[in-house]
């Protein structure tokens, strides 16, 4: 394979990043990745030495034509996905693909792998501009002189993927909202299974002008799928409400037309709730790769989300506490140290918290003033509470970090009178906060103690 070079579009995307991480880099002389802006490189995984970034745009062929001329194979994943304007879908997915295909023909590229979507098979895509534009992209590829493979994945699930984020948000609501009847069939595939298939196709290097549809190993109704996520998130079966699609689509298409930027999604995106998204067995690949069971995929993704969420909360806590202590935000280094300390110190994860601790923790991630109020009460009445343990931990981190130790080590300027004045002022503020916080927390402390005594 010496001398064989690869050109990849969409490397900064959800699937592109994962593919880049798992590509057999050593098989290629060079791997060119088309990215739109230089600082997008920061979003890519660590790149091997034979990877070269090409700053450009699908619709500006001059930006990438020279690199293309050195390549035998192109993997085309770049697309306008999720919510985009109608113009962008067509400009990028149809016109952009046409431009790329023409450049490939002109520069002697042999093989073309086009990542399309199962949505092109929906019976009605007249108002689903994403699917329509991807179908137009397919036509460009099929009508070209290139040896091609068109891969149509079903719903791709993975951490950070737009589709998974939407399902997870839906499943976190107190009851399950199911657009449509919920009875359409889906066959989601884990991103790693998709990437594994892409790798295998690249290794086999057979580009036989074929269309391949690719889904996971289980088919189920949308409703069953959403219920599985809901049950795993909430630990119980959901109450569900079906939203009839027809009226919703009618209203959405009006909003799309007259106020296109108002909603976080467009009417076309609801098509996945109208039509089956399953792979046609006649167009499927026979592969020895064993796909992940859907249950395992859901469990893994939810575990990820929970970890992510707890990291997000710790990060917010760290922001509020640092501002409280040194009146400036923390650096990434301090945030990481703070989160790491929580991974190793189980005392900071008490699951058996009283009402006061829970209220203090819940409010103090909101602002440094809330921390101040909580801490003024704890300083007198509850010195071993959770919030104090966390503040002491952060104090230790700040005191030993090169960027913040000066806040504690350097004497403050001003003369004695200034010092005295400041101490007076701080004392008055503390007293005011203490009175205020006692009015909130003292009754709660009493309730907590009484209920513990009763138990
Ligand atoms: N995710 C799924 O569930 C799924 C399912 C079926 C099929 N697919 C297909 O798989 C492919 C990858 O999907 P994805 O989820 O990874 O998409 P994504 O996360 O939205 O990434 C899209 C990629 O396209 C790039 N791009 C967009 N416009 C471009 C332009 N004009 N010039 C150059 N690059 C451009 C983006 O670059 P920036 O980073 O600069 O925006 C990004 O790298 C797409 O073709 C999609 O249709 C995805």
User: Which contacts (CB < 8 Å, 24+ apart) does range 88-94 have?
Assistant: 89/129, 89/130, 89/132, 89/133, 90/129, 90/132, 90/133, 90/136, 91/59, 92/58, 92/59, 92/133, 93/130, 93/133, 93/134, 93/136, 93/137, 94/133, 94/136, 94/137, 94/140
Going by CA atoms, what residue is nearest to atom 15 of ligand 1?
14
Domain limit, last residue, from 269, 292, 315: 292
Ligand 1: nearest atom to the Cα of 153: 6
Q: Are residues 119 and 78 in the same domain?
A: yes
> How many domains does one find in the chain?
2
Q: Is the CB of 153 under 6 A from ligand 1?
A: yes
Domain assignment of residue 298, yes or no: no
Mark whether 283 and 310 lie in a shared domain: no
Residue whose CA is at the smallest distance from ligand 1 atom 3:
156
CA 43 to chain centre: 12
Cite the DSSP H helix spans in 259-385.
Answer: 294-326, 332-344, 355-364, 368-381
- Same domain assignment for residues 280 and 340: no
Is residue 13 in contact with ligand 1, taking CB distance under 6 Å? yes
- Spatial CA neighbour of 166 closest among 289, 14, 61: 14
* Closest residue CA from atom 40 of ligand 1: 36
The answer to whether the CB of 10 is under 6 A from ligand 1 is yes
* Closest C-alpha among 343, 216, 342, 320 to residue 278: 216
Contact criterion met (CB below 8 Å) for 325 and 391: yes
Nearest to 382 by CA among 392, 374, 372: 374
Q: Which residues on adjacent β-strands are paired with residue 220?
A: 186
Q: 101 lies in a domain?
A: yes
CB atoms within 10 A of CB 193: 24
Å from CA of 81 to ligand 1 middle: 6
* Dist. CA 359–CA 437, nearest whole Å: 12
For residue range 340-353, what is the model confidence (pLDDT) as tens digits? 999 888 778 766 78
Q: Which of 40, 41, 38, 31 is nearest to 7 (CA)?
A: 31
Nearest residue CA, atom 36 of ligand 1?
A: 10
- Print the domain residue range for 341: 304-454
- How many other CB atoms are there within 10 angstroms of residue 264's CB atom? 10
How far, in Å, from the CA of 115 to the mean position of ligand 1?
9
d(CA 96, CA 141): 12
57 Cβ closer than 6 Å to some ligand 1 atom: yes
Task: Give the torsion sign (CA, 287, 291, 294, 295).
Answer: positive
**Dist. CA 244 → ligand 1 center (Å):** 30
Quote the CA–CA distance of 65 and 439 in Å, as a whole number: 70
The whole-angstrom separation of Cα 100 and Cα 237 is 49
- What percentage of the chain exceeds 70 in pLDDT? 99
Ligand 1 pocket: which of 45, 57, 63, 77 to mutate (most atoms <8 Å of CB)?
Answer: 77
The verdict on 32 and 92 lying in the same domain is: yes
Residues 359, 251: one domain? no
Q: Which of 11, 16, 68, 81 to mutate to test the pocket of ligand 1 (most atoms within 8 A of CB)?
A: 81
Q: Is residue 153 located within the same domain as residue 256?
A: yes
Helix (H, G, I), strand (E, B) or coil at 44: coil
Q: How many CB atoms lie within 10 A of CB 389?
A: 16
> Same structural domain for residues 28 and 52?
yes
**Shortest-distance Cα residue to atom 18 of ligand 1:** 13
Same domain, yes or no, for 256 and 355?
Answer: no
Q: What is the pLDDT of residue 3?
A: 63
Amino acid 2: pLDDT: 53
Ligand 1: which of 33, 35, 62, 79 to mutate, most ligand atoms within 8 Å of CB? 79
Dist. CA 321–CA 341, nearest whole Å = 15
Q: Is 316 in a helix, a strand, or coil?
A: helix
CA of 78 to the centre of ligand 1 (A): 4
- CA of 9, closest atom in ligand 1: 34
Q: Is 36 in the pocket of ligand 1 (CB under 6 A)?
A: yes
pTM for this prediction: 0.84
- Among residues 292, 315, 335, which one ends one of the domains? 292
The pLDDT value given to residue 164: 95
pLDDT tens for each residue of 444-455: 988 888 887 887
What's residue 174's pLDDT?
93
* Residue 217 shares a structural domain with residue 313: no
Q: Which two tokens stand for residue 273?
A: 């709730």
Task: For ligand 1, pick from 8, 9, 15 the residue to mutate: most ligand atoms within 8 Å of CB.
Answer: 15
Flag residues of the chain having pLDDT under 50: none
Would you state the pLDDT for residue 350? Answer: 65
Instruction: Pick the residue whose CA is nearest to atom 22 on ligand 1.
Output: 13
84 and 45 within one domain: yes
- Integer angstrom CA distances of residue 285 from 88, 195, 378: 32, 14, 63
What CATH number is given to the structural domain containing 181? 3.40.50.720
Residue 349 pLDDT? 75
CA of 82 to the centre of ligand 1 (A): 9
Report the candidate in 319, 343, 317, 342 with the shortest Cα–Cα distance to residue 332.
319
**201 and 230, same domain (yes or no):** yes
């Amino acid at each position: 394979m010496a001398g064989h070079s690869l050109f990849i579009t969409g490397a900064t995307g959800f699937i592109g990043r994962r593919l880049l991480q798992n590509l057999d880099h050593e098989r290629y002389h060079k791997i060119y990745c088309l990215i739109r802006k230089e600082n997008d490189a920061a979003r890519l995984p660590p790149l091997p030495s034979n990877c070269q970034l090409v700053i450009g745009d699908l619709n500006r062929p001059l930006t990438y034509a020279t690199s293309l001329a050195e390549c035998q194979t192109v993997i085309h994943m770049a697309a306008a996905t999720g919510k985009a304007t109608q113009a962008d879908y067509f400009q990028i997915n149809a016109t952009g693909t046409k431009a790329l295909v023409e450049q490939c023909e002109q520069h002697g590229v042999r093989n073309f792998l086009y990542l399309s979507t199962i949505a092109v098979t929906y019976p009605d895509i007249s108002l689903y501009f994403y699917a329509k534009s991807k179908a137009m992209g397919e036509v460009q590829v099929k009508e070209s002189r290139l040896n091609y493979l068109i891969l149509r994945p079903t719903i791709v699930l993975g951490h950070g993927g737009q589709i998974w984020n939407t399902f997870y948000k839906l499943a976190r609501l107190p009851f399950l909202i199911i657009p449509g009847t919920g009875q359409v069939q889906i066959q989601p595939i884990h991103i790693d299974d998709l990437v594994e298939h892409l790798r295998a196709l690249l290794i086999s290097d057979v580009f036989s002008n074929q269309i391949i549809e690719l889904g996971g190993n289980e088919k189920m109704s949308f409703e069953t799928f959403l219920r599985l996520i809901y049950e795993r998130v909430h630990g119980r079966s959901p109450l569900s409400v079906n939203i009839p699609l027809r009226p919703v689509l009618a209203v959405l298409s009006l909003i799309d037309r007259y106020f296109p930027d108002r909603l976080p999604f467009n009417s076309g995106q609801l098509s996945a709730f109208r039509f089956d998204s399953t792979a046609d067995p006649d167009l499927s690949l026979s592969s020895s790769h064993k796909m992940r069971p859907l249950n395992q995929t859901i469990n893994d993704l939810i575990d990820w989300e929970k970890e992510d969420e707890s990291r997000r909360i710790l990060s917010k806590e760290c922001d509020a506490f640092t501002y409280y202590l040194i009146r400036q935000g923390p650096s990434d280094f301090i945030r990481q140290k703070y989160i790491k300390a929580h991974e190793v110190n189980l005392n900071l994860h008490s699951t058996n918290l009283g009402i006061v601790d829970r209220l203090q923790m819940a409010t103090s991630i909101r602002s440094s003033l809330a921390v101040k109020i909580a801490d003024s009460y704890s300083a007198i009445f509850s010195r071993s509470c959770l919030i104090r343990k966390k503040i002491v931990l952060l104090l230790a981190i700040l005191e030993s970090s090169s960027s913040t130790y000066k806040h504690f080590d350097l004497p403050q300027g001003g003369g004695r009178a200034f010092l005295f004045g400041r101490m007076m002022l701080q004392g008055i503020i503390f007293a005011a906060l203490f009175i205020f916080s006692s009015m909130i927390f003292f009754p709660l402390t009493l309730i907590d103690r009484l209920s513990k005594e009763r138990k």
